[in-house]
Amino acid sequence: MTAEAGRAPTPGALATLGLLTLIWGLSVPMMKLGLADFPAPALVTLRYLVAAPCFALLLFLRGRPIPRPRQLAQMAALGVFGVDAGQYTQMTGVRLCSASVATMITAIIPVLTVLLASLRLRQKIRPAHVAGFALALGGIAVAVFAPGVRATSAPAGEGLVLLSCLCISGYYVLSVEVAGRAGVMATAAWSTIFAAAGLVPVALWTVPVSALRLTPRVVFVALYLGLLVTVLGIWIWLRALERLPARIAGASQYGQPLVGIAASAMLFGDRIGGRFLAGTALVLGGIALSALPGRR
């Protein structure tokens, strides 16, 4: 249940949402940082091996029963499609392109979610939503072809990040029906647990033991992505939807790419020129159009 529209947001709730914007905004730069020492399949596996036990503990503390076999099968499918495929392609794409470009591309996830939700529910998509999608894609094109970006970012990486956005958006849309019957937290927890179980054999098959260097930086990144981005981030987001109007909670999407791009510039020296900033502004404008009233 979302917060009532007439309820004034409390300073504490807004501060918590600001913390979420910071945590999620730094996720892509943190991935890039960890990939300097660790292969992508191993890092994404380590992330969810950290998150899965925490979700299992939350389910135990809340006394949640094990879902029905049909629901478990649906959650397993969500974990494989949305988490395994989505996060694996994202992590691999981040390795191949600059952190600032990857951050800006992931900002398109809310726009894709609106479009996929409309198609799934067989509702007519409003012209503003189509315009928002086109504007966001145009912004990505403007940014990735900005001077200096091509030298540090490969088209294959950008394509993989865009594919990950499609998988993650599909996960959000498809999980709505499952969460309506089993609960949002249970759906997020079980899909993460199944995702972790699916990632382990892939990592063992594709990554040689000699390539695994568990440095302090890798441990820090895995804990950040697993505990803060995945577990704490989802918990804060669900609490925000309960305490804040959806339009205010959704506004955090605007700040995340700005945080990530600024962090990428500081950590990796990514060049942020006027053309790149113009592309980012177009992406944010596309998010704004996709968030206009008219879709539930």
- Summarize pLDDT for 108-146 with one digit per residue, the tens: 887 788 788 777 766 667 787 778 778 877 887 777 776
pLDDT number for residue 108: 84
Distance CA 30, CA 21 (A): 14
What is the end-to-end Cα distance of the chain in Å, rounded? 13
Distance CA 83, CA 239 (A): 22
- Summarize pLDDT for 63-113 with one digit per residue, the tens: 888 899 999 999 999 999 888 999 999 999 999 988 888 888 888 887 788
Mean pLDDT over the full length of the chain: 83
Amino acid at 31: M
pLDDT bracket for residue 198 (50, 70, 90) = very high
- The pLDDT of residue 20 is above 50: yes
- Summarize pLDDT for 228-285 with one digit per residue, the tens: 999 999 888 877 766 766 666 666 677 788 888 888 888 888 777 787 788 888 888 8
Cβ contact 276:136 at 8 Å: no
